[in-house]
Amino acid sequence: MPYIPLQEHLPGITGLLEYRKDTAEPIRELTQFLLRGPNSLSEAERELIATVVSSGNNCTFCTTAHTAAADRLLGESNTCNMVKENIETAPLGNKMKALLQIADKVRENGKLVTPELIQKAKQSGASDLEIHDTVLIAALFCLYNRYVDGLATTLPDENSYYNQLAERLVLHGYTRLPQGYDHLKKNNSI
Amino acid sequence: MAYIQVEEQVPGIRSLVLFRPETGKYLYQLVQLLLRGNHSLSEAERELIAAYVSHRNGCIFCTNSHAAAARCLYGSAAFIVDEVLINRTFGCISNKLKFLLQIAGKVQLSGEAVLLEDIAAAKNAGASDIEIHDTVLIAATFSMFNRYVDGLASFTPNDDAIYTEMGKRMVEKGYQLPEQPNK
């Protein structure tokens, strides 16, 4: 049971974003720009950052949702599974590994990001903008994870919810659906 | 020295949002709504929550700037800010704010650390659902800002007078995206 009254058909973050729509808007727009905006990091790579941070923060809803989104974008689930286990041994290039290591430190505390880690990312070809966006995505998911778990939002009843959510995140993105979310009500599904 | 090429001598979050105004504008919109929008919690109380979380995260820039804003807003009761941040004593604030700060402190650690009993204590002390919601979201938002500011090693001034001025500006002008400096 969530700690505040949220719409029952909206598990995880969606119920919170519908609870206070005015604060939801900049959070949604920021996420849309960071994860879907023009960027030299692919959408899949940016979803991996979100996944690694959410997984490290032990946030089940966010981890499952962003894993599903990353898997869909990558067309396979091996990379995401491996990266959650161990960044260093995951099948990724050195730049991405270095960026994910920065993200993982940001997750613990910003002050843990060392000049050596930044140097490693730059030597592997990461630009200032990529480093900036990695840090901000990691920080943003520290917000999301705390928001979702701090108010004890519910998990979806069925795992298929995450697949539908991932489809929405890939095809539509992070902005509010123009028609809202009433179609997710159980007896009303289309 | 910041880890990325931002404007030198521009402190903390300002240097970062000038580097990337496309994301900065949403960050400022969010904090303006949360800390300056109409609310049953006063601006001083909300700045205190922001400073409290930043202090617990060890983010000196955010702690000093939001503590300065809170002192400015509390006026003759500015001592409350040091009581809470430095002495960790809560006798000078209402029970409701004390329990909301306790929730914010849990959120700083992890969302999962917030327990039903923490929420019940705040509700028994008169906290409304929206006050609990906003406390959690402010604490989560500053868990983001603190990591952004420290994760990129942005410039942190160490002169108290600079923060006093900053606090005044945050109270008078609110949170508006800074303009690009002319070159």
Number of domains comprising chain B? 1
Closest CA to B33 of A96, A82, A29: A29
* For chain A, percent of residues with pLDDT exceeding 70: 98
Q: Give me the CATH number covering residue B152.
A: 1.20.1290.10
Q: Do residues B26 and B179 lie in contact, with contact meaning Cβ atoms separated by under 8 Å?
A: no
How many Å apart are CA B43 and CA B64, to the nearest integer?
16
How many Å apart are CA A27 and CA A77, to the nearest integer?
28
- Per-residue model confidence as pLDDT tens digits over A87-130: 999 999 999 999 999 999 999 999 999 999 999 999 999 999 99
Is residue B44 in a domain?
Answer: yes
The gap from C-alpha A105 to its chain's centroid, in whole angstroms, comes to 16
How many Å apart are CA B10 and CA B169, to the nearest integer?
15
Domains and CATH numbers, chain A: 12-177 (1.20.1290.10)
The token pair that represents B64 in the structure block: 């000093």
Name which of B16, B106, B137 is nearest A147 (Cβ-Cβ).
B137
Name which of B16, B33, B140 is nearest A143 (Cβ-Cβ).
B140
Size of interface A-B (CB pairs under 8 A): 148
Name which of B112, B129, B143 is nearest A143 (Cβ-Cβ).
B143
Distances (CA, A) of B10 to A39, B13, B60, B163: 25, 9, 15, 13
Residue B183 pLDDT greater than 70, yes or no: no
State whether A23 and B30 contact (CB < 8 Å).
yes
How many Å apart are CA A156 and CA A162, to the nearest integer?
8
Residue A189 pLDDT greater than 70, yes or no: no
State whether B151 and A105 contact (CB < 8 Å).
yes
A92: left (phi over 0), alpha (psi -120 to 50) or beta: beta
Q: Which of A1, A3, A13 to mutate to test the interface with B (most CBs of B within 10 A)?
A: A3
Q: Do residues A6 and A152 lie in contact, with contact meaning Cβ atoms separated by under 8 Å?
A: no
How many Å apart are CA A118 and CA A139, to the nearest integer?
16
Domain that holds residue B38: 20-173
State whether A138 and B151 contact (CB < 8 Å).
yes
Is residue B141 in a domain?
Answer: yes
CA distance B5 to chain A (A): 7
pLDDT band of A187, cuts 50, 70, 90: low
Q: Do residues B50 and B142 lie in contact, with contact meaning Cβ atoms separated by under 8 Å?
A: yes
Q: Which B positions 60-89 lie with beta carbon below 8 A of chain A? A: none
Is residue B65 in a domain?
Answer: yes
Is residue B92 in a domain?
Answer: yes
The number of C-alpha atoms within 13 Å of A16 and in the hemisphere containing its C-beta is: 28
State whether B150 and A111 contact (CB < 8 Å).
yes
Summary mean pLDDT of chain B:
96
- Per-residue model confidence as pLDDT tens digits over B127-161: 999 999 999 999 999 999 999 999 999 999 999 99
Q: Which helix (H) or strand (E) holds B157?
A: none
Is residue B85 in a domain?
Answer: yes
Length of chain A: 190
| Closest residue of chain A to B147, computed from CA coordinates | A110
Q: What is the DSSP letter of A37?
A: S
- Per-residue model confidence as pLDDT tens digits over A164-173: 999 999 999 9
Q: What is the DSSP letter of B115?
A: -
Is residue B12 in a domain?
Answer: no
Q: Do residues B35 and B128 lie in contact, with contact meaning Cβ atoms separated by under 8 Å?
A: no
